[in-house]
Amino acid sequence: FAPIEQWLHHDDSSLLPATISGSGDYAGSRYAYQAAVLGPAFMQLISQQKVFLVGCGALGCEYLKGLALMGACSAPGSKLIVTDMDTIEVSNLSRQFLFRQADVGSSKSLSAARVVKGWNPDLQVQALEKGVGTTSEDFFDDQFWAPLDMCWNALDNVVARRYTDSCCVWYGLPLLESGTLGTKCNSDVFLPGQTKSYNDGVESDANETQIAMCTLRSFPYLPLHCIEFAKQAYFSDYMEFAPQQYEAFRKDPAGFFEQLDAMGDAEQLKSLKMIKGYIELQKHGAVDFEVCIRTAFSHYCRDFVTSIRDLVHSC
């Protein structure tokens, strides 16, 4: 994965009203600049919304920040309901920016709501600690869904996404849907009567078993995480990639460097480092069984002892 190296221009001029009459009643307020661009009517509309935000992880934190700072759900009678049944873990702190070390073990939704309420005291936010699904329909019933203006998903699994989508179809609500997994992402808007629903176009849930790289690399806490970490970070590199690269270099150096030019910078560096390791290994004479054992032990200590101790100590 390589970040964009050029300029990225994003045009949302379609959001602008046909005529703009200044900030109106919002002149001198914290929303003056936004009202000057989008118009007072737009500001009044978003301030009166009743929004249901499902999930308060990495995406949920971003959405809460945006809604709070833009003045959404800030008028009397409006409401921003956020729910998440999870508690904050250490692994969340690197990407869920509303949380701090002192929040570890606390409710995600309650902690996040407290933070954004501090940013904008007018925000009409309500935090819940309930999962959304068939087992909670006694709480999320007709009286809950009917008054809403929209639902916003910030979920991490297909089952929950399917359920909220079915509710939005039933109650005629717009659904905003997004998700991330490693370097992959998706973002969709589903409008009642205008677009297909999420369930009509959902991809296969084959990726449901994939593990987020931030968890896999930094905070593996399940046996599956440790096995997958060893497979991806150790065996794939040292047992497959490194020998293949070295053999290609040994047999045809010129051809190898031609292939290297076609790789990205990160892959080039990785390949050259591994080849350098093989060359240095042979500098001191024949590579016998004892040298192989010593090298394997060195790799093991570095990847499965020292790095883990450093991680635990730094936390």
Query: What residues are annotated to the active site?
Result: 214
E strand or H helix at 178, and its extent? strand 175-181
Q: Would you call 126 helix, strand, or coil by DSSP?
A: strand
Angle at 298 between CA 294 and CA 303, to 5 degrees: 150
The residues, ordered by sequence, that sit 6+ positions from 101 with a Cβ below 8 Å of its Cβ are 90, 93
The residues, ordered by sequence, that sit 6+ positions from 162 with a Cβ below 8 Å of its Cβ are 198, 199, 202
> Measured between alpha carbons, how far is 291 from 156 in angstroms, rounded to an integer?
46
> Measured between alpha carbons, how far is 72 from 124 in angstroms, rounded to an integer?
9
Max Cα distance, the chain (Å): 82
Residue with tokens 């849930």: 205
> Measured between alpha carbons, how far is 247 from 269 in angstroms, rounded to an integer?
17
3-state secondary structure 29-58: CCCHHHHHHHCHHHHHHHHCCEEEEECCCH
> Measured between alpha carbons, how far is 55 from 115 in angstroms, rounded to an integer?
16
> Measured between alpha carbons, how far is 305 from 52 in angstroms, rounded to an integer?
45
E strand or H helix at 110, and its extent? helix 108-119
The answer to whether the CB of 136 falls within 8 A of the CB of 167 is no
Helices and strands of the chain, counted as H and E runs: 14, 6
Amino acid identity, position 185: C
